[in-house]
């Protein structure tokens, strides 16, 4: 599903035009991103939990040359689905 598919589905389900649905979706994702950055966690009951996860530095390999490289430590966002969502998959 693409962003435009999601906007179309939200517009149809909420019976609003696509412009309003797009603005609501943009505001939702901006708020979600700010919450994850600030609180390191965002919980949506019945859907799942977004959390900040840390990755350690590690060795990698350049796929073009085959040379060993060091990949520095980083942070990323992880998602753990709620049990109800996981059962339905």
Extents of the domains making up the chain:
1-38, 40-89
pLDDT in tens, the chain (89 residues): 999 999 999 999 999 999 999 999 999 999 999 999 999 999 999 999 999 999 999 999 999 999 999 999 999 999 999 999 999 88
CATH of the domain spanning 40-89, picked from 3.70.10.10, 3.40.1710.10, 2.40.10.220, 4.10.520.10:
4.10.520.10
Can you list the positions of beta strands (E) in 21-88? 41-44, 48-55, 58-61, 68-71, 74-81
Q: pTM here? A: 0.75
């Amino acid at each position: 599903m693409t962003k435009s598919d999601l906007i179309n589905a939200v517009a149809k389900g909420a019976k609003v035009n696509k412009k309003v649905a797009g603005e609501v979706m943009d505001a939702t994702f901006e708020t979600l991103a700010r919450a994850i950055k600030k609180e390191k966690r965002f919980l949506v009951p019945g859907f799942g939990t977004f959390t900040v996860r840390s990755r350690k530095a590690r060795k990698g390999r350049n796929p073009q040359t085959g040379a060993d490289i060091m990949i520095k430590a980083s942070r990323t966002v992880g998602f753990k689905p709620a049990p109800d969502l996981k059962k339905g998959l």
